[in-house]
């Protein structure tokens, strides 16, 4: 959605009747919100316009002087296969329609057909084109492993390959007008991802954020849609809703999993129809913002249990990105710790301390249920208590000692191969010690904590295992 134009690519209208082009342009913008429109009333200029302008979809009349629509359709499909074509003809002929579809047209409409059906068909073709372009962009980025705009992600501290794949995906959907669903545990940085999507979209409007958790249906409607003066008791003046405030930009709805069922109906209609009614108004307004939603909840499970509408769920997950938890990004822990300690030192007006070498190893063996937000809190707490040159590990040890990470085991599956003899207790013990030392990167103090034994006991075991 570049510069508040929808779609991001141009829609070319081709007809030898200038009056029809004007009326169709007005209908597309008024009823469909489609305003990135080019017009051509001379069929001989069509191919040059497609080559010169960023055209992604052509609405083509069949009966025209000079070059017929059928001839142009064949040329477009052959020379510009990435451009979609919809036929709009004054002839209601089934045989002609079938022939055009076989030649590569998306759809066929008759000019006298109901206007709403035509607009819906054009919007559907736009969505198909957007998905096609996104698929091509994703394929290109993953093959080359590149980012076109790495500066957009500068505030997201990571060296994780999974996060890089997320960034590549976000770049590939940046021109789409469809909603984006961001999922991930609390504290993983969903707000930063929403901000990156907003920046990538190149809109000229603001990023407007709304936490919808706990909003009842009336407050939700008033917050998003706004109201007219006199709409309800206390509405002394007209107030623009968040949708209008986000015009040309992005509307970010956080904690969407907590939205009430009546409010879900309103959001679904907004996304499907692209329009809404301010409270107290009988005149609809079109949404001019991209919608991003986020949740830490499992929407798939919620829609199966009936707590979340299936139609809304499938409408939201057209573009879905899942942010991995910090425990799956262990390589980022040291980077984030360094960043947060620097940030805390600046804020508290202290000198940044030296980080003990064993601290990142200790943190790598912690589950971080609060993810990045928890790590930041730990860094700030440690920095506030810091007095010497070396950073004390006491704050981290105190918190981490409350939760010794347990291995993920599926109790429904046997731990050992039933077709093989069981290992001895000594063999199992040696394997556990070896795994603990590997996780602790050779630090006996940390390894003993992971095993739940004292450091002298571990040292004794290690000496026994030496050849």
What is the pLDDT, as a whole number, of residue 143? Answer: 66
Please tell me the least confidently modeled range out of 94-108, 168-182, 295-309, 429-443: 429-443
**Can you say whether the dihedral through the CA atoms of 415, 417, 422, 425 is positive or negative?**
negative
67 Cβ contact partners less than 8 Å away, ≥ 6 residues apart: 43, 44, 46
Closest CA to 125 of 170, 80, 59: 59
Q: In what order do the strands lie in the sheet with 319-322?
A: 207-211, 250-254, 290-295, 180-183, 319-322
Average pLDDT along the chain: 87
Per-residue pLDDT of 114-124, as tens digits, reads 788 888 889 88
Res. 417: pLDDT tops 80: no
What is the pLDDT, as a whole number, of residue 159? Answer: 92
CA atoms within 13 A on the CB side of 373: 11
Give me the domains of the chain, ranges plus CATH numbers: 2-136 (3.40.50.2300), 152-324 (3.40.50.300), 327-400 (1.10.8.60), 425-465 (1.10.10)
What is the pLDDT, as a whole number, of residue 135? Answer: 77
- Predicted TM-score (pTM) of the model is 0.71
Closest CA to 183 of 254, 258, 250: 254
Q: Which phi and psi (to 5°) does residue 380 adopt?
A: -65, -40
Average pLDDT over residues 86-97: 83
Res. 370: pLDDT tops 70: yes
62 with 69: CB under 8 angstroms? yes
d(CA 156, CA 133): 26
- 354 is written with which tokens? 């030296």
Res. 405: pLDDT tops 50: no
d(CA 28, CA 461): 77
Res. 404: pLDDT tops 60: no
Res. 59: pLDDT tops 60: yes
d(CA 432, CA 41): 78
Question: Alpha-carbon Rg of the chain, whole angstroms?
Answer: 29
**4 — pLDDT class (breaks 50, 70, 90):** low
**1 — pLDDT class (breaks 50, 70, 90):** very low
Closest CA to 129 of 99, 97, 110, 106: 106
Average pLDDT over residues 322-332: 93
Please tell me the least confidently modeled range out of 92-101, 159-168, 332-341, 446-455: 446-455
**Cα dihedral 318, 157, 446, 425 in deg (nearest 10):** 30
């Amino acid at each position: 959605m570049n510069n508040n134009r929808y779609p991001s690519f141009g829609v070319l209208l081709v007809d030898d009747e200038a009056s029809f082009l004007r009326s169709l342009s007005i209908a597309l913008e008024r009823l469909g919100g489609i305003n990135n429109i080019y017009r051509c009333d001379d069929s001989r200029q069509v191919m040059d316009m497609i080559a010169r302008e960023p055209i992604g979809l052509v609405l083509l009349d069949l009966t025209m002087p000079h070059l017929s629509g059928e001839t142009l359709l064949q040329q477009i499909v052959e020379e510009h296969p990435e451009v979609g074509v919809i036929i709009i003809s004054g002839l209601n002929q089934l045989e002609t329609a079938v022939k055009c579809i076989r030649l590569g047209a998306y759809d066929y409409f008759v000019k006298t057909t109901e206007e709403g059906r035509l607009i819906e068909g054009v919007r559907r073709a736009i969505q198909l084109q957007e998905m096609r372009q996104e698929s091509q962009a994703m394929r290109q980025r993953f093959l080359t492993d590149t980012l076109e705009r790495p500066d957009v992600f500068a505030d997201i501290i990571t060296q994780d390959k999974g996060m890089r794949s997320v960034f590549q995906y976000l770049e590939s959907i940046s021109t789409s007008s469809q909603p984006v669903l961001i999922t991930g545990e609390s504290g993983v940085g969903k707000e930063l991802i929403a901000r990156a999507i907003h920046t990538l979209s190149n809109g000229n409007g603001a990023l407007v954020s709304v936490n919808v958790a706990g909003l009842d249906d009336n407050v939700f409607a008033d917050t998003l849609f706004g109201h007219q003066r006199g709409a309800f008791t206390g509405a002394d003046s007209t107030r623009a809703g968040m949708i209008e405030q986000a015009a040309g930009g992005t509307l970010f709805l956080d904690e969407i999993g907590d939205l009430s069922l009546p409010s879900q109906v309103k959001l679904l209609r907004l996304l499907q129809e692209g329009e809404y009614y301010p409270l107290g108004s009988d005149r609809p307004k079109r949404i001019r913002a991209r919608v991003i939603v986020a949740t830490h909840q499992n929407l798939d499970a919620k829609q199966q249990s009936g707590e979340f509408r299936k139609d809304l769920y499938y409408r939201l997950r057209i573009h879905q990105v899942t942010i991995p938890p910090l425990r799956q990004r262990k390589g980022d822990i040291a980077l984030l710790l360094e960043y947060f300690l620097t940030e805390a030192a600046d804020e508290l007006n202290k000198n940044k301390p030296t980080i003990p070498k064993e601290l990142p190893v200790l943190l790598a063996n912690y589950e971080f249920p609060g993810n990045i937000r928890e790590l930041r809190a730990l860094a700030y707490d440690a920095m506030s208590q810091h007095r010497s040159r070396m950073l004390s590990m006491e704050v981290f040890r105190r918190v981490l000692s409350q939760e010794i990470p347990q291995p993920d085991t599926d109790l429904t599956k046997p731990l050992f191969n039933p077709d093989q003899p069981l290992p001895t207790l000594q063999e199992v013990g040696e394997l556990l010690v070896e795994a603990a030392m590997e996780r602790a990167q050779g630090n006996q103090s940390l390894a003993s904590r992971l095993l739940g034994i004292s450091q002298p006991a571990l040292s004794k075991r290690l000496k026994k295992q030496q050849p």
